[in-house]
Amino acid sequence: MKNQNPSDPADLPVIERADVQPVNSAKVRKPLYEARKKIFPKRASGQFRQFKWLVMAVTLGIYYLTPWIRWDRGAYAPDQAVLIDLAHRRFYFFFIEIWPQEFFFVAGLLVMAGFGLFLITSAVGRAWCGYTCPQTVWTDLFLVVERFIEGDRNARIKLDTAPWSFDKLRKRVVKHAVWLVIGVLTGGAWIFYFADAPSLLKEVVTGEAAPVAYMTIAILTATTYLFGGLMREQVCIYMCPWPRIQGAMLDENSLVVTYNDWRGEPRSRHAKKAAAAGQAVGDCVDCNACVVVCPMGIDIRDGQQLECITCALCIDACDGVMDKLGKPRGLIAYATLAEYQSNMALATDNGAGPIDPQRVRKADGGFVDQVRHFDWRVIFRPRSLLYLGVWSAVGIAMLVALLTRERLEINVLHDRNPQYVLESSGSIRNGYTLRLLNMIPAPRDITVTLDGLPQAVMKVNGMQEEPGRAFIVSVEPDEATTLKVYVTLPGEAVVERAESFRFIARDPQSGEQAIYKATFNGPEQGRGGRK
């Protein structure tokens, strides 16, 4: 990259100017909703475009390939790494298994996602929208198909305005057919997250899948086709709430795509003539390269706009022009408002037109490097640290809860009618429904013991064992086992008030245990069990 301007204005290369106006202009007051105007973004090249290619490949790869990843959980659990098993009310994520009563883990992830979005926006603007939002990723994919079939910007404009012919019809049919195929693959990949992917694929192909599978594929095919192919920027402008929310997330130290008009103005299309005449001109040659590559059809030189998704393709386009002119990059760059205002003040003090981005004249006539550049340390300011702290706290709390959670639970429900039974022997019997949750994918023998009521015994309905203080029950892997248990206490041992005792479920192999505090009711107490 060259850092010095050519000494002779005649040496400046000719930059082709695109005769284009921004589709979404910040200078025009718009109605609440406006019909879509077609945008034909030109393909950009540069570091940000390469980064977007990488993000697109990674995100699409994760989405389409994840259902096919296997994870061995033993003979009693599915081997799909990521599976939302609605039939059995389970969520599997590699070595993690989430039960319905543990849905707070999902809620915690949503909270982390929200604060993560706040953190990213506060630090680097709408980076989520520009790089990883599904709408952006699939629109990029659809544009790749469009360019491959119809050509780059000029060819697509020419084709769009041309009368219908066999060639135009052929290209349009092929393009829309490929878009529909992408939509089908998108919907098909989604349903594989809810069932065993290889088995479901076979059922879908042979027509044996449940109707809801085909309905889901059809709906997601339609939405992917419409949002990525036909609506595109309309989704970001009118359907997504984030462009309007993100303004509250930004401050003077947030990093956003910025046109540095302290350097670029006054812009000129005839820099050679202006330089030869001794006129002060900025570095912007008004080539509109930044406009033609913008997928939202805006002119970043008009300032920050709701439509800007901070994809930085305009930076790549402008840097390419600066390279050809032998001028420093960064006429359009990621910058903060504080940095921009500081440099604008320098330009005003300079008083002789645009300032050189490398050297600024001092009052005594000397030169010094004064242009303020972005300092990454401003990202670690109180606001960002607050978001990071909340995000980290929620993540750590979830991790601790995940590592310390019990995989054996016992729930007890006392019979309500009748609350007790007076037997002919004078003993008092209470009935309970025990629910043992074995939350691991392996069978276990669980010992259930009475703790308290020294003279009481219990018997499990359906088991031929004699009443006792403990019994062993085999529980199914990754299942809830329900038992009907009767606890009997001799009449002379019953006190006037309700007595508390505990059911203890214990796995002798692992030592894991669960405890439930219950109540034994006698005559005239009439109280229910409690935990």
Q: What is the pLDDT of residue 189?
A: 94
Q: Tell me: the pLDDT tens digits for 423-432?
A: 888 889 999 9
The single residue listed with the structure tokens 């020419």 is: 158
494 sits in the region (left: phi over 0; alpha: psi -120 to 50; else beta) called beta
Q: Which range has the worst mean pLDDT, 157-166, 332-341, 354-363?
A: 354-363
Q: What is the pLDDT of residue 167?
A: 93
Q: Tell me: the pLDDT tens digits for 79-100?
A: 999 999 988 888 999 988 898 8
Q: What is the pLDDT of residue 120?
A: 87
Residues 283-304 have a mean pLDDT of 90
Residue 448 has pLDDT above 50, yes or no: yes
Residue 177 has pLDDT above 80, yes or no: yes
d(CA 17, CA 405): 64
Q: What is the pLDDT of residue 405?
A: 87
Q: What is the pLDDT of residue 157?
A: 93
Q: Where residue 2 falls among pLDDT bands split at 50, 70, 90?
A: very low
The DSSP result for 90-119, as a single string, is EEEETTEEE-GGGTHHHHHHHHHHHHHHHH
Phi, psi at 476, each rounded to 5°: -75, 155
Q: What's the pTM value of the predicted model, to 2 decimals?
A: 0.80
Residue 27 has pLDDT above 80, yes or no: no
Phi, psi at 500, each rounded to 5°: -95, 145
Enumerate the domain spans of the chain.
47-248, 255-374, 408-520
- Cis peptide preceding 418, ω within 30 of 0: yes
Fold classification of 408-520 is Immunoglobulin-like (2.60.40)
d(CA 76, CA 388): 40
What value does the mean pLDDT of the chain take?
A: 84
Q: What is the pLDDT of residue 369?
A: 43
